[in-house]
Amino acid sequence: MSEETYGHINSAFCDGMATTVTATHHFTWRHLYSSMQAAQTTASKLRFVTPNKKSSMNTLWQEEEFEQPCRQQLLTEKAVEIEKTISVKENEREHHDFDPTIFYENQFWNRRPDGIVINKNHRTLYILEVKRSSDRNGNFLGFKEDESNKQH
């Protein structure tokens, strides 16, 4: 697949395309990640962490000693701010309504990121995640159907 097509990959809501879309996501991610690693200089002091399939933010925090670049409480507070901007799925509504703060904290700490870069010199932790539009917008299908209907 040529690099120019990376931006045109959409999630497939068709079971027959799921394997292809997942493989494309992983291929694109590996290419991006390896390009970033290759571009770093010896002075940059970045450490790239490649999570495995079962790694959540919680397990990575424990395994990788992220406490050095930033405190867990500070990261949690910042993450909750971002999590609040993501639509709550209907099947998660009950948990959200019971205790929204705990819900958003758990959402973050249970996430499985595509990659993490640590810069201890700048005390910065970069969480790298490639998400589908449908993961960020609960009405993605309706939006795309409207867009398609306007084009035809």
Model confidence pLDDT, tens digit, residues 2-46: 444 444 455 555 666 777 777 887 788 788 878 888 888 877 778
Domain hosting 59: range is 43-137
Per the domain annotation, does 145 fall within a domain? no
> Into how many domains does the chain fold?
2
The verdict on 9 and 55 lying in the same domain is no
Residues 91-124: tens digit of each pLDDT: 888 888 889 889 999 999 988 888 888 887 777 8
Say whether both 26 and 100 belong to one domain: no
Residue 25's nearest CA partner among 132, 112, 148, 121 is 132
Distance CA 77, CA 23 (A): 33
**Count of helices and strands (H, E) across the chain:** 7, 3
State percent of the chain over pLDDT 90: 8
